[in-house]
Amino acid sequence: MSESLVARSLEFGQPARGRLTIVRAQGARLWGADGREFVDLGATHGAGSLGAAHPEVARAVAAQARELLYLGSGYSNPVRTAFLERLLSLLPSSFTRVFLSNSGAEAVEAGLKAARSATGRPGIVAAMRGFHGRTFGALSATWRRELREPFEPLVPGFAHVPFNDAAALDEAVDESTALVLLEPVQGEGGVHVATAEYLRAARAACDRTGALLAFDEVQTGIGRTGRLFAFERWGVVPDVLLLAKSLAGGVPIGATVTTEEVARRFRGTHHSTFGGNPLACAAGLAALEVTVREHLPARAEALGAIGRRHLEALPGPKVREVRGLGLLLGVELRERVAPYLAALERRGYLAISAGPSVLRLLPPLTIPDADWDAGLRAIAEVVAGG
C-alpha cells in the first residue's frame, strides 16, 4: 500500500500531522519512533499539564484497570465518588454538581443543554475568537468561520460578541439568554486574556437577566494560568464551569460543574456511556493530588513570569505582542508562525500555533527549569533567525 493510502486509511478530516511519530514520554520529554528526543512546549495541547506519562497517573490507571475497568454511570463507585468530592473540595461551595464526560466538547455540550433546560430559554451568547470544540453545539459557540462553514447549518440561537467589550456583551444579553459562554483566556483564538472588567460585566449581565454564566476552562483549568482555576484570579464565579484536557492527567475526561440551583431546574436527561468511568476517575484523582501537592499552579505562575520576561525581550520587528497568563503564553508574530514551529522542531522543541501567526506555548507545568530556559532560548534563536 502506498504511503498516502496508509495515511488516508488512518485519518479522517485530520490535516497531515503524520510527519512525526511519537512513541514515549517522560517528564516534559517526548521521544520519536526514530529515537529523536523533544521537549514538549505544547505538543500535548494543554492535556499534558503533568507531562504525557506521569508515573502517579500511570500507576493509578494500572491499579484501577486490575480492579474495575468499566462500570455504567447508573451505579456508584468509590473512585468516582472520591474524585468528585476532591474536585468539588477545590472549588467554591456554590458548586455541588458534576456531570462527567470524555472530552472538552462534551463538557460544553452538557453545559449548553443544562443552560437551555434549566432556564427554558434559547439564547447562547459567546465571544468572537472563542473556541469551544467541534461537536455541533460546541461548534455553534465557536467563532472561526472555516471551522464552522463546512458543517452548516449549525445549532440556532447562538450570538457572538467582541471579546473584552463589556458594553457589547451587556447589550447582547437579555431575558431570552440562557447562557453566556466565555473562555477566561482565549486559547485557540490567539491567547487573549479577559479583563477583570469584562468578566465582572458578564456576571452582572447574567445576574440582571437571569441568564447563566459559564466559563470554559477546558484549556485554562487545573493550574495552567497560575491559579488552579483561572476564574480565581478575578474572583468572578460562574454558574457553570467546563473542564477537560489536563483534569485526568492526559486520560480522556470532561466535566461540567454546576450549582444545586441549575441541577434542580434541569429538565430532561443527559447521559454518556463512558462518562465518569473508573479509569478516568482514578487518573483524575491522582492528577489532582499531584497538582495540589506539588503546588503546580504556583509553579505555572513563576515559570510563566520567566517566560514572559524572555519573550518580551525578543528582537523587535518580527514580534507584534506577547500575551498570556501562567504557562499559557502566546507570541503574536508579524508573519506566519509555521516556519518558526518547524525551526523549533528541528532544534528538538515542539510548540503549537494559535491561528496563523501566534506561537503558543503550553508546556507541562512540571517542566524542569533547565528545559524551560533552553526552550525560551531556542525561541529567541529562531525568532532572531539564528
Ligand X SMILES: Cc1ncc(COP(=O)(O)O)c(C=O)c1O
Give contact residues for ligand X (rule: CB under 6 A): 103-105, 108, 131-133, 183, 187-188, 216, 218-219, 244
Smallest separation, CB 136 to ligand X (Å): 12
Written as one letter, the residue type at 52 is A
216 φ, ψ (degrees, to nearest 5): -85, 100
| Cα–Cα dist 36/346, whole Å | 10
- List strand residue ranges (DSSP E) for the chain, in order: 22-26, 29-32, 37-40, 95-101, 123-127, 158-161, 177-182, 185-186, 192-193, 212-216, 240-243, 254-259, 319-325, 328-333, 349-350, 352-353, 358-361
Spatial CA neighbour of 48 closest among 334, 287, 358, 269: 287
Counting other chains too, the contacts that 152-155 makes at CB distance below 8 Å and 24 or more residues apart are: none
**Shortest Cβ distance from residue 195 to ligand X (Å)?**
18
Question: Whole-number minimum distance, CB 201 to ligand X, in Å?
Answer: 20
Nearest distance in Å: CB 354, ligand X = 10
Cell output for 57: 497517573
Nearest to ligand X of 177, 219 (CB atom): 219
Judged by DSSP in three states, 96 sits in: strand
Give the residue with the Cβ less far from ligand X, 172 or 241: 241
- How many CA atoms lie within 13 Å of 119's alpha carbon, on the beta-carbon side? 26
Q: How far apart are CA 370 and CA 65, in angstroms?
A: 35
State the cell numbers at 210: 437571569
Between 216 and 239, CB nearer to ligand X: 216
| Minimum separation from the CB atom of position 264 to ligand X (A) | 26
* Amino acid occupying residue 88: L
Q: State in angstroms the smallest separation of the CB of 227 from ligand X.
A: 16
Rounded to 10 deg, the angle between the 296-312 and 369-384 helix axes is 20
Which of 104/378 has CB closer to ligand X? 104
- Cβ atoms of 219 and 328 within 8 Å: the answer is yes
For ligand X, give the closer residue by CB, 169 or 185: 185
Coil vs helix vs strand at 181: strand
For ligand X, the closer of residues 104 and 157 by Cβ is 104
Pick 133 or 363: Cβ nearer ligand X? 133
Q: Among residues 141 and 311, whose Cβ is nearest to ligand X?
A: 141
Output the smallest distance, CB 98 to ligand X, in A: 17
CA separation for the pair 12, 10 (Å, rounded)? 7
Instruction: State the minimum distance, in angstroms, from the CB of residue 356 to ligand X.
Output: 17
Torsion sign over Cα 301, 307, 310, 316: negative
- C-beta closer to ligand X: residue 250 or 297: 250
Min CB(36)–ligand X separation in Å: 26
Q: What is the C-alpha separation between 242 and 221, in angstroms, rounded?
A: 9
Closest-by-Cβ residue to ligand X is 104
Nearer to ligand X, 217 or 371 (CB): 217
> What minimum distance in Å lies between the beta carbon of 141 and ligand X?
9
